[in-house]
A and B are shown apart, each in its own frame.
Chain A
Amino acid sequence: MNLTHRISACVFAIALILLSASAAYASIGAAIQAEPVQLTHAVAAGHTYRLSDAYAKNPGSQAARFQIRIQKLSPGSGRDVPASWIHPGREDLVLAPHKAAYVALTLKVPAGAPSGSYLSDVVAVAGPLRQIHGTALAAAAATKLTFDVGGPGFAIPGWVTRTLLALGVVALLAMGIKRGPIRVRLEHAQRR
C-alpha cells in the first residue's frame, strides 16, 4: 500500500468515526409557541373559524418530520376538544434543524356541539425522517388551545359584542359626567 492509499484510508476512518460520533449525539427536538391558541370571543355551533397559526420549530440537530395533533395534555377544567374539530393546514411537514414554520388551524364546530368552555392542546410532534430499526425516540411540544362555544342560537360575531360594549361604556361615562358628583363648570371669559 503506497502513501496515498494509506492517507486515504486514514481520512475515511476518521470520517467514519466522526459520523458515528455525530449520530450518537444527534438530538431530535420539537418546539411550539408558548402563547396559547385561543379565541377571545365565543364561537357558535355549526360554524367554521380561523384560529391563529401555530408556530412550530425544530430545535434538534437533525431534520425531522413534524405533525400537528390535538390532544388534551394540560391540566385544567374544560371540555375536551375532539381532534376532528381542528383542521391543520398541513398534515405534516419536514423542518431542517433550527427552522420554523407556521401551520394554519381551522376550527369547525359541528352543529349540536355542547356549549361551554373547551380546553385541549395543540401538539407539534417531531419524528425521524426515515424508519429506524430499534427504538425511535420522538419529541413533542404542546401549547394550550382554548375557546368557548356559545349556547343554542348564538351567532353574534365578536366585533359586534365589542362594539356594543364600547358604546355602553361611552354611554355610562356620559351619564356619569352629567349626573355624577364631578361637575365641570365652564366659564367664558369675556374680552373687554
Chain B
Amino acid sequence: MIRTVPQTISLSAPPSRTNHVRSPSDGVAARAVARLAAAFAASAALVVAAGAGDAAGATSATFTATVPVAVTSITVSPQSGTFAHCTGGSSTAPALGFPNGTCTMSSVTVSTSGGPASVDASASNAVAGDGGAGWTLCVPGGTTGTASCANTSTALAASGVGKLPGANQFALTDSVASATGYIQSTSACLPGLSGGKTSCAALTTSPVSLTLYGPQSATDGSSQFTFTLTFTAVPAS
C-alpha cells in the first residue's frame, strides 16, 4: 500500500545584515528587495526539491541570501605618514625648520573603485603634541573656510610664489599627474583632477605627492604636530 504524505514546505528568510531592508519603497531598498526576490525564486526550486526528498516530516527550510550592494569605494595607502626630506630655513633632513621650511611625503597612493569617482581632499589644522598652540591651515589668498597665508616677509611676497605661511600657519600642496595645488580646510577637487570650478575628473588610482610648508615662526616649541588629511571619493554624476 502506498500512502501519500501531504507535505507543507515553508521557506523562511531570517533577517540578516545582507538582506535586511527597512524601507522597501525607496532607492537601494527597493532594488535589494527585487534582487532578493529573484534570488529567492531561483533558489526555491532547489529548496523544494530538498524538502520533498525528506519524507521524515521536515516542514521548514532556511533560506539565506547575500545581496551585493554596489558601492563607491576609496582606499588610501599607507594610513599614516611622516613628512621628511625637509629643506629651507633651519631644517635638517628629518625635521622642519624656521622660517618656512618645507618637507615632503611622496608615497601616498589613492585608489577608487565601484564606478567613476573623482577625489576631493581636505586637511585639518595641526595640533601640537604638547597641547599648546597649534598651526592653522592656510592657502595663499585664502578661500572660504581656509585662512590666508600671512608671511610678512616682503622678500618672499616679491618672489612670485605668493605669501608663505605666517606665524603658527602651515600650508599643504598635493601633486597628481604633475599638477600641483593647495589643499584647503573644506573638501575640494584634487588639483590634478580639476577641470575648472565645476568639473573634477574621475580617478582610478594614482600616487599623490604631498609637500608641507611650515610656519614663519611657531609659538609652541613642541617637536611634533599632528593633522588629518582626508581623501573623499565623490561619484561622477
Contacts and interface: CB of A to CB of B under 8 A. Distances in A.
Contacts of A74: 234-235, 237
A12 interface: no
Interface in A119-169: 121, 123, 125, 127-128, 131-144, 158
Interface stretch (B3-11, B50-58, B69-77, B135-143): B69-77
A73 B78 contact: no
A34 B70 contact: yes
Contacts of A94: none
A93 interface: no
Interface stretch (B22-30, B36-44, B160-168, B213-221): B22-30
B83 interface: yes
B235 A102 contact: no
Given A52-B27, A127-B228, A31 B73 contact: yes
Interface in A51-103: 51-53, 55, 57, 59-60, 62, 71, 73-76, 100-102
B187 interface: yes
Contacts of A40: 25-26
A32 B71 CA distance: 5
Contact of A55 (B23, B69, B82): B69
B80 interface: yes
Question: A30, A71, A123, A143: which has the most chain B beta carbons within 10 Å?
Answer: A30
A134 B226 contact: yes
A42 interface: no
A153 B20 CA distance: 35
Contacts of B77: 25-28
A35 B73 contact: no
A143 B82 CA distance: 31
B95 interface: no
A27 B230 CA distance: 13
Contacts of B25: 40, 158
A137 B70 contact: no
Contacts of A104: 22
B159 interface: no
A109 interface: no
A158 B224 CA distance: 56
Kindly list the 5 A-B residue pairs having the minimum CB-CB distance in the complex, ordered from nearest.
Answer: A31-B73, A29-B75, A27-B77, A28-B79, A140-B232
Interface of B: 17, 20-23, 25-29, 31, 69-83, 105, 108, 113-115, 117, 120, 129, 187, 198-200, 224, 226-235, 237
